[in-house]
Structure 1
């Protein structure tokens, strides 16, 4: 490993220990599986491979390459050559080069004859050029003699008296296992050096899933916890790398502990980015008024997952999605009204559940996944009804409600099945926050509501990105784009709705509830792990998804209906590539029935179940799809749902 920033971009080192200092003249240098001590002097145009531990004092002229090949249990073949040598041709011809010069010149400089090269060979590839030495100490003098010191008597003696190999011979006599052993040792050193110098090295920019596998395979000690003063993303990478190594070495307790620490750091970063202003909720309605908030659902059509931290924190995200009403109504509805008792009454119409909250502690109990009231509790907390988010100080929740002279009754109605893939939980959170914003006079705009939704999901430990809430809170079809950084505030770029509203195309957009459900949290956690670990496969796919969103936006602007459907299918292929569980057999069976009649199709959201969005080739094909699925329902829950592009997004009104 080279310990400083390289002064020339054409310097490459791999699995090596390098103690020299490079300079600007060192261009076109490749060093692999080698030890280069400080006494060496190099120039340019070198390939240096296989050099063992040494203390040589040697100067390598420009254009000269060195390959030290292990032979047998202890010996080596010394193989220098010129970077432009072709290793073929008659050695008697001036056009046949070795060490960058005609073979005859090299021989003349050393008072050698062609016959000294051994045998009857005339082709350079078959000439006995490369001496065998039994120890590292003999390499230095013979190498010097061969490359630039023809007067080195000891080197000449070694060359003349040793057994020699041709380039052809070395293919048969090279002992590759010794090369692998040396590479392994140097690779271990490099990993630990990169790790120890992480503040200035690329260690935490590597594919950490591969690094973890290498640490486990080589038996290296787990990297130490980085300093608290390190930037947050480095600390997250460190925790997740440690977690993966512990997991690979069967230390499940420490693996879980480190992973939880990584996710906690991510949550804290996102929450802290919006924690700078605390709230002062008040009663902003008349005692008999009801605040009614409602939101459409969201269908993502390109770029999904690129909005998800930590990827969006590194590079920003691009997503194209639709806000849609189902069966003529916004499917997510929230009602908030004052009540005389100084408590908070939570109700769910669709779940038939109710809960009365009387203390801060009960509001803080919002992390239970599957609880019917986790979302409204977290929303109330963010609105300032717990001390952490309140500008004023109150000893109890009752005291705070007495201060605003009212209790709160909050009722939920979710007209979408669980696990639908339509952004339900995020949009319910946005709808609750939006209704409470109006009820409490917090004066948030739609972008603020979406930002606080991202924080709310981190508080719930469900994670997630920003596209769900932006997809429904903001109306129509749009390209959403965010920049890198913990404070994710996407730009909303509205796109023409021609392909979804024109009478020729509107009947071609079909939405079918498959009756198959899947919990998104487990999907999200696994993909986020890949992001934390810089998994090359994940990051490449996410970059492609990000570009695809821009291509989709351009397609919509051009009004190309056929390509729109094809690009929906490309989105589906990308989703399946990033998560194999996206397309379970039950869903694939449904798709197989309608595929011939579609330009494109996909499951919204993380996939695995929920709704199937189809773009039929034409209205007749749409009618055929309806007929097929009505006659062949996969289960007793499956059904068509009428979808229509929302022209308003989130709405709030009062009685």
Structure 2
């Protein structure tokens, strides 16, 4: 349905999906998938009704086919032209012949493009509004309400009113959806609507609740939270305290397909699946951590490969939330999640932690999560905890929530498990991860070695190593 310049009437355009408008009638051109000869015969019209001359160029592009008339009449004529209705008394054919008709060629010179865009935007906004209302009414809040709000904003005058109406429908604690709808999703819906309505200050407050809920739900889903230290964190001391050292080195990962399906809150509500591969860089394991207990000092000394360091004497000061510019929040979060801060030995021993990542910052190779995995694995080794890849991968998921950065499981899975693997996650409590190693043929390995080239473009992705 196309608006015309300087006209209140409209033209409705219809044709077949595979019609080529520039193929002439004599070269088997079609309209609605049927040859022109068949169309003329079925409609009982002449080629002179469509074209002013009988030359070689008569085609859909220049056929005076589309009438300029009211919408009800246009629909009636359109159904007849497309062969969907009959015209036994010839009234529709007469209406069509007597009307002012234009071709696609003329139409393209007469379209009111501004009005066309305005109408399209309003139509999209109306559709989005109705979909959003249905989602709120029937509990289908898995839809991307933020995207629907973006569409609703195209209709500026009514958007705020609609958003306020939808806010009144927001699910609350204890309603019929409380058993199946995560708290983070409730907050997310409310935040999206507040943002769309222009109440940015309240939306910012609700956003904090979104991330707090996601962190809590993630910890619950993997049965390994930061609120309660793991049972391994209270290992008894044998009385003879000796320094211990753990060195963990890991590869980086290449993501083939499925990234983001591993990330909360998506992975807490829907299945995820990622195919990725662990790789060395120039034959080396580029990410690592060295952690050791020491009798030289108490507290925790943290160093990174950029030459930065911090000495924390008061372990009780290591608490979340952390500031975004805290260069050591990754290590601090790992200390919280693993329960090391509550370990008996730290009352008599100090801890030295050194980390490195010989990869450009923000390279997109999963470095932050893999470094977190190295730190977590090293800490578990010191306290003789469960350092299995599955446990470490789940713990890193919580570490990233405590950091306040979010993040999923695919990066640490990619670095912890060797080779190529396809990993699936299944929502629930606990969140289930199923890692399937894929045995690569010698031919595939050779192809990858010959063809795979890792180049740092200089475009930095999300990076938490600062």
Give the TM-score, by structure 1 length. Answer: 0.49
Q: After the TM superposition, which residues 258-273 of structure 1 pair with which residues of structure 2 at under 5 Å, given as runs?
A: 259-273=207-221
Residue matched to 1:74: 8
**2:125 is aligned with 1:188:** yes
Give CA-to-partner distance per residue, 1:165-214, whole Å, 9 cap, x none: 456554544555554444333222111112222377999666966x6654
Q: After the TM superposition, which residues 106-121 of structure 1 pair with which residues of structure 2 at under 5 Å, given as runs?
A: 106-107=43-44, 114=46, 117=49, 121=53
Tell me if the contact between 1:323 and 1:471 (Cα under 8 Å) persists in the aligned partners.
Answer: no
Residue matched to 2:299: 345
Q: Aligned to 1:286, which of 233, 238, 251?
A: 238
Q: Aligned to 1:382, which of 303, 320, 337?
A: 337
Structure 1 spans left out of the alignment, 5+ residues: 1-49, 51-67, 387-396, 496-552, 583-605, 611-655
Instruction: Give me the whole-angstrom Cα distance separating, in 2, the residues matched to 1:100 and 1:236.
Output: 61
Structure 2 spans left out of the alignment, 5+ residues: none
Instruction: Give me the whole-angstrom Cα distance separating, in 2, the residues matched to 1:432 and 1:492.
Output: 24
Q: Aligned to 1:295, which of 248, 252, 263?
A: 248
**2:277 is aligned with 1:333:** no
Instruction: Give me the whole-angstrom Cα distance separating, in 2, the residues matched to 1:329 and 1:159.
Output: 74
Q: Aligned to 1:274, which of 214, 222, 229?
A: 222
Instruction: Give me the whole-angstrom Cα distance separating, in 2, the residues matched to 1:150 and 1:270.
Output: 67
Give the secondary-structure state (helix, strand or coil) at the position aligned to 2:251: strand
Residue matched to 1:645: none
Tell me how far 1:438 sits from its aligned partner.
5.0
**2:60 is aligned with 1:103:** no
Bigger mean CA deviation after superposition, 283-292 or 377-386:
377-386
Tell me if the contact between 1:213 and 1:245 (Cα under 8 Å) persists in the aligned partners.
Answer: yes
Residue matched to 2:351: 411
Give CA-to-partner distance per residue, 1:287-310, whole Å, 9 cap, x none: 223332221143335549937625
User: Which one has a bigger Cα radius of gyration?
Assistant: 1
Q: Aligned to 2:135, which of 198, 201, 213?
A: 198
Q: Aligned to 2:259, which of 306, 316, 330?
A: 306
Give the secondary-structure state (helix, strand or coil) at the position aligned to 2:391: helix
Instruction: Give me the whole-angstrom Cα distance separating, in 1, the residues matched to 2:17 and 2:283.
Output: 68
Tell me if the contact between 2:301 and 2:351 (Cα under 8 Å) persists in the aligned partners.
Answer: yes
Q: Aligned to 1:364, which of 278, 303, 319?
A: 319
Give CA-to-partner distance per residue, 1:112-157, whole Å, 9 cap, x none: 8x59938964457666555443x4455466667764233265x566
Instruction: Give me the whole-angstrom Cα distance separating, in 1, the residues matched to 2:59 and 2:282.
Output: 77
**2:86 is aligned with 1:148:** yes
Q: After the TM superposition, which residues 156-235 of structure 1 pair with which residues of structure 2 at under 5 Å, given as runs?
A: 158-159=95-96, 161-165=98-102, 169-198=106-135, 214-219=151-156, 220-221=159-160, 223=163, 224=166, 227=171, 229=177, 231-232=181-182
Residue matched to 1:599: none
Tell me if the contact between 2:246 and 2:382 (Cα under 8 Å) persists in the aligned partners.
Answer: no
Give the TM-score, by structure 2 length. Answer: 0.65
Instruction: Give me the whole-angstrom Cα distance separating, in 2, the residues matched to 1:443 and 1:141.
Output: 73
Give CA-to-partner distance per residue, 1:427-449, whole Å, 9 cap, x none: 66545544554555544534213
Residue matched to 1:650: none
Give the secondary-structure state (helix, strand or coil) at the position aligned to 2:246: strand
Tell me how far 1:425 sits from its aligned partner.
5.9
Tell me if the contact between 1:194 and 1:202 (Cα under 8 Å) persists in the aligned partners.
Answer: no
Quickly say closer, same or farther: Cα 1:334–1:73, change in 2 above 3 A.
same
Quickly say closer, same or farther: Cα 1:452–1:333, change in 2 above 3 A.
same
**2:398 is aligned with 1:455:** yes
Tell me how far 1:412 sits from its aligned partner.
1.9
Quickly say closer, same or farther: Cα 1:73–1:479, change in 2 above 3 A.
same
Residue matched to 2:459: 580
Instruction: Give me the whole-angstrom Cα distance separating, in 2, the residues matched to 1:137 and 1:327.
Output: 72
Tell me if the contact between 1:75 and 1:132 (Cα under 8 Å) persists in the aligned partners.
Answer: yes
Tell me how far 1:253 sits from its aligned partner.
3.9
**2:449 is aligned with 1:564:** yes
CA RMSD, 1 decimal? 5.4
Q: Aligned to 1:316, which of 248, 273, 281?
A: 273
Instruction: Give me the whole-angstrom Cα distance separating, in 2, the residues matched to 1:79 and 1:446.
Output: 60
Instruction: Give me the whole-angstrom Cα distance separating, in 1, the residues matched to 2:36 and 2:86.
Output: 10
Instruction: Give me the whole-angstrom Cα distance separating, in 1, the residues matched to 2:214 and 2:377.
Output: 25
